[in-house]
Amino acid sequence: MSNPAIEALAASGLEHTITRHGRVRSLAEAAAARGVEPRDLIKTMVVRRAEGDHLLALVPGDRTISWPKLRALLGVSRLSMPDAAVALEITGFERGTITPFGTKTTLPVVADERIRGRAISIGAGEHGVAATLDGDALLAHFDATVADITEPQT
């Protein structure tokens, strides 16, 4: 069975390591299985700006999107997250496996500034499969808009 995320990673030329650890029940379990701190595990979230206009937000595992910060950055008054079926249709990945690599639709990437300057672990298109790579290389590859878009997880 092919995995478009792993294929896109391989084609990207980015140095990375694939980790396969099986299903996990929480972010903390995923971080432990990947041998990283929760802050180094990057969540990829589909955000709806307007009908038919979506983007990907990259968020450190120990943080959550700050909707006021993201709205201000994008210059919009309203944002939402699409339901799981719409996210699957747009990306080709189920929730919990979404990654910017190999999406069905090319989407703009907005990333939290805390991804800079360190190695990160990001989902690789299947449950229990992740890629570890340099955060700066990831941001450059996707020409991501980088800003403070998160707040601590409560």
- For 3-25, letters b (16+ CB in 10 Å) and e give bbbbebbeebebebeebeeeebe
Q: What is the pTM of this model?
A: 0.96
Give the domains, in start order, of the chain with CATH numbers.
Answer: 4-152 (3.90.960.10)
* pLDDT tens digit sequence for 11-58: 999 999 999 998 899 999 999 999 999 999 999 999 999 888 999 999
- Average per-residue pLDDT for the chain: 95
CA distance 82 to 105: 15
Q: With bands split at pLDDT 50, 70 and 90, how would you rate the model's confidence at 154? A: confident
Q: What is the pLDDT of residue 1?
A: 60
